Structure 1
Amino acid sequence: MAPMREILLVVDMQNGFMSEKCRQIIPTVIKLIERFLAAGKLVEFTRFVNTTNSNYVKLIHWSKLIHEPETSIIDELQPYINSIFDKHYYSAFTENFSSFILINQIKKIYLCGVETDSCILKTAIDSFERGIEPVIIEDACFSEGGQQAHDAGIFLLKRNIGKNQIQMSDEVIEKIS
């Protein structure tokens, strides 16, 4: 039997999202990336790119992440980038990413990055609904909205995809090593 195909998806670790409160997860994300790569597993990145006519601008009056350098992946992660899946909405499940998942027969997606209460949440639920097991690495995610927004995202994830799908980086590293 072929080994289960797993991926570490690093979600939206971009300059425009990296407030001081979000920067705390960078060392944990790097440790995860290095362990996944050492185990011969896939590591991929998403990048959110807003547009001037998006609902983010029109409905919630949020006009960040339209241009460089806000849209760039943070410098600390540049050496690890293999490919980047651009997206214009919360979920990573664009046409390109969905094709990549299918072609590589991915059965489990480990999620880290930002924002726990939006992009991580939506990607995890989309993964769950596609029959792909999502695992959220709680101490490798955070929200610009602070601890309350992060905790709200984790609460909703436990409720919607199962409490066992929320894990800490040490547990994940132990399983893949």
Structure 2
Amino acid sequence: MSEILLVVDMQNGFMSEKCRHIIPTVIKLIEQFLAAGKLVKFTRFINTADSNYVKLIHWSRLMQESETSIIDELQPYINNNIFDKPYYSAFTQNFSNFIFLNKISKIYLCGVETDSCILKTAIDSFERGIEPVIIEDASSSHGGQQAHDAGIFLLKRNIGKNQIKMSDEVLEEMS
């Protein structure tokens, strides 16, 4: 079984003060996964002027490099391990190919936004027969705790309550 830690959209444009508290936990997870010889990849959301985000919900952020860049704290870990995506889910053609070629059977998810990008990626993973695990204390939403909690609630209903774990639990299972 091949596993991956997927760090979702830890970008300047998403990292409000409501999200920054997860950074040390995300770094700890990255370092422990790498030390265990496991894969660590990142996603980066890039919006476009003709997207439904702009057309339907009038949200035109994350188009400029200043917002789309991965936060400084994670730069030392990136090393060309980024999958760009134009929508909520990480499951672009490139990411899907990577998952298939590397025979990934389990995806640990952390980052932002629990109620959209993490939620959609987890459900897409689930529907593809890949086990998703959401690391709750390493995930957040710039919409605040209520949005994060709503995402966790929906994830428990849609992929199973046992798929939501805390970072210490994940790290203990690894050792």
| TM band (smaller chain) | over 0.9
CA distance in 2, matches of 1:65, 1:158: 29
Deviations 1:35-66 (A, max 9, x none): 00000000000000000111001111111000
Give TM-score scaled by structure 1 length. Answer: 0.98
1:39-118 superposed matches below 5 A = 39-82=36-79, 83-118=81-116
Gaps in structure 1 of 5+ consecutive residues: none
Partner of 2:106: helix, strand, or coil?
strand
1:142 matches 2:151: no
- 2:22 is the alignment partner of 1:35: no
Matched letter for residue 59 of structure 1: L
Q: How far 1:133 moved relative to its partner?
A: 0.1
Compute the displacement of 1:19 (Å): 0.3
CA distance in 2 between partners of 1:132 and 1:71 (Å): 28
Deviation per CA, 1:66-119: give whole Å up to 9, x if none: 011100000000000131000000000000000000000000000000000000
RMSD: 0.5
**Partner residue in 2 for 1:158:** 156
Gaps in structure 2 of 5+ consecutive residues: none
Look up the equivalent residue of 1:95 and give its one-letter code: Q
Separation in structure 1 between the aligned mates of residue 85 and residue 65 of structure 2, nearest angstrom: 15
**Equivalence for 1:128:** 126
Pick from 20, 24, 28 the counterpart of residue 21 of structure 2.
24
* Pairs aligned (count): 174
Displacement of 1:176: 1.1
DSSP 3-state at the match of 1:6: strand
Displaced runs of 4+ in structure 1, greater than 6 A?
A: none
Percent identity of paired positions between Structure 1 and Structure 2: 85
Q: Counterpart of 1:9 in 2: which secondary structure?
A: strand
